[in-house]
Amino acid sequence: MRRLGTLLVALSLGTALAAAAGEEARPSGDGRRTLGRLLPNLGRGVVGVFDRDNLGPLVVGTMATSLAAIYDDDVADFIADPEHAFGQAVGDATQPAIVGGIALGVFVGGRFAESPRFRAMSYDLLDAFVINWAYTATLKRVIGRERPNGQNNRSFPSGHSSTAFAVAAVAEHHYGWKVGVPAYTAASVVAVSRLQQNKHHLSDVVAGAAVGYIVGRTVMRVNGEPLGNRPGVALSVTPLVDRHTRGLLVAVVF
């Protein structure tokens, strides 16, 4: 049973690889997802989360999380079973560190792949993982909600859920619903496993799903923008001098 979670990840990745293999080989990328643009793209992704394009998913996610909070205790009473092998297997196999290692490996493989779609997907996968981890870790520390099992104060939102849904959003965007359906299904299984393990409240996993989805779609939008719409990276230094102030204003635009 402990291999089940790893199998789910492997099947999802295998499906994406199979889809990519069916494409016409082309050695060049799209010019938007290069190593030189990796840090600027990460920066744009972090800022891009606050774009008005995410207002709809944010409102829906907030409402769904608020509604789920009403049923936190009822769902926990119904599903919580920390000793169950299924929840342990999925939770162990989908730890953010493991998924991050997979994302990094896929990214490296994508740099040598001839399939333009796979190259783009591998790039966006790493972007989405890093940005999602940053937002999820920040929210956990700021909110400080205690886990239902009392383990620590890092319950909200669920990192496993946000990571899984960020990955699913990337997979669905690049390969359509033929990969998106199993990817979102696997992400939902991950979320349920966190409830079964009594590691999270229902509202934690719903919020995590919303965060992951928003980050995933943000990365797709930002990294997919035409090159002409990107100013690149610019550094400006402006002196600040008046009667009471002496200094420099440094701004980085990306």
**pLDDT tops 50 at residue 20:** no
**pLDDT tops 60 at residue 69:** yes
Using CA atoms, how far residue 142 sits from 102, 137, 160, 246, in Å, is 28, 9, 18, 34
What is the reported pLDDT for 228?
60
What's the CATH fold of domain 4-253? Vanadium-containing Chloroperoxidase; domain 1 (1.20.144)
What is the pTM (predicted TM-score) of this model? Answer: 0.79
What is the reported pLDDT for 223?
93
Average pLDDT over residues 194-222: 96
Question: In whole angstroms, what is the distance from residue 97 CA to residue 160 CA?
Answer: 10
Q: Which is more confident, 143 or 247?
A: 143
| Domain map (residue ranges) of the chain | 4-253
- Single out the residue of 38, 55, 2, 8 nearest to residue 164, CA to CA: 8
**pLDDT tops 80 at residue 247:** no
**pLDDT tops 70 at residue 3:** no
Q: Which residue has the tokens 């938007």?
A: 32
Question: In whole angstroms, what is the distance from residue 254 CA to residue 116 CA?
Answer: 25
**pLDDT tops 90 at residue 66:** yes
112-144 pLDDT per residue, tens: 988 999 999 999 999 999 999 999 999 999 999
**pLDDT tops 80 at residue 16:** no
What is the reported pLDDT for 27?
37
Confidence of residue 239 (pLDDT cuts 50, 70, 90): low
What is the reported pLDDT for 79?
93
What is the reported pLDDT for 11?
44
